[in-house]
Amino acid sequence: MLPASAAIVEVGPRDGLQNEAASLGAPDKVRLIEALVAAGLGRIEIGSFVKREWIPQLADTDEVARRLPRAPGVTYSALVPNRHGLERALEAGLGEVAVFLSASETHNQKNANKSIDASLEVFADIVPAARARGVAVRGYLSTVWGCPYEGHVPPEQSLRISRALRNLGVGEISLGDTIGVGNPLQTRRILETFFAGGFQPRELALHMHDTHGMALANCLVGLEMGIATFDASVGGTGGCPYAPGAAGNLATEDLASMLQGMGIRTSIDLDKLLDAGRLAQELIGRRLPGRRLQAAIGAASRAMRSEAQTT
């Protein structure tokens, strides 16, 4: 039984750009985000309020937020690692913030520079503070399908951490296949663990990476099990930090195209989304990995060549 409609959370301006070698200026980021809004995306992650020197590509998130036109029906969000980040997000007027940690201890240590328990302690402070200010809080849980340092991550460990997040007031937990190794059987088992552990499908989102080409197969399992929120990145921006040149984030066009083909309603206009993908490729200056985008670019170049032949 498939859901009648599904939501896409666009993470390209944050998760995509932070893993690109090219660094876009705030005006270009705003152009890209505006193109995504025009394509119908209703939830867009625009950056991160971590220390500016940690992720130079996202150091201007405050400025991006200031320059963005508020659009009805569109929620902008950003990552916040701590109280200071939250204050910056609140000042920027974002409607949602996201906290993040990993399901594996080593990855959390390397990524957030603290233990999982220490991350949860920080969130115990900032999640209620955000909610008290009327701001929704999303939680990212990374390495649920596997850790580049520890390998297998038990689903029960992910469940335990997710429960802690929910207890703090996190309204939606995005389960992440950070290194893109998840397979459909594993996805089924992870979701079964979460549902048996008391989670409802609407409390969860899937954040799949396409590093091994399985992102859409994993999303399909999610859909079949009632998940209706999926993260994706325009053009598949982002790459895989553990394998330069490999694919990273699932491309928004690939996901939107599959949902549309399956008759699952979204807010997306696919043609305009492909326009946003072309813009992302132009701004970033490399051939992006999204399959649907490259098919559209290839079909257009073929049409131009055919025209050239017949005239």
Residues that bind its own copies (CB under 8 A): 2, 180-181, 183-186, 210-217, 219-221, 240, 242-247, 251, 254, 257-258, 261-263, 290-292, 294-299, 301-302
Q: Kindly state the smallest distance separating residue 282's Cβ from its own copies, in Å.
A: 15
Q: How far is CA 154 from CA 24, 69, 86, 134, in A?
A: 38, 43, 31, 34
Q: Kindly state the smallest distance separating residue 281's Cβ from its own copies, in Å.
A: 12
The catalytic residue among 26, 37, 170, 240 is 240
Q: Which residues of 51-64 are buried (b: 16+ CB within 10 A; e: fewer)?
A: eeeebebbbbbbbb
How many CB atoms are located within 10 Å of the residue 171 CB?
15
Task: Give the nearer residue to its own copies in terms of CB position, either 227 or 251.
Answer: 251
Q: Kindly state the smallest distance separating residue 308's Cβ from its own copies, in Å.
A: 13
Catalytic residue list contains 240: yes
Single-letter amino acid code for the residue at 167: N
How many CB atoms are located within 10 Å of the residue 242 CB?
14
Task: Give the nearer residue to its own copies in terms of CB position, either 124 or 220.
Answer: 220
Quote the strand ranges of 85-199, DSSP E. Answer: 96-102, 136-142, 172-176
Q: Give first-to-last CA distance, the chain, whole Å.
A: 50
Task: Give the nearer residue to its own copies in terms of CB position, either 196 or 300.
Answer: 300
Q: Kindly state the smallest distance separating residue 236's Cβ from its own copies, in Å.
A: 9
Task: Give the nearer residue to its own copies in terms of CB position, either 35 or 293.
Answer: 293
Residues belonging to the active site: 240
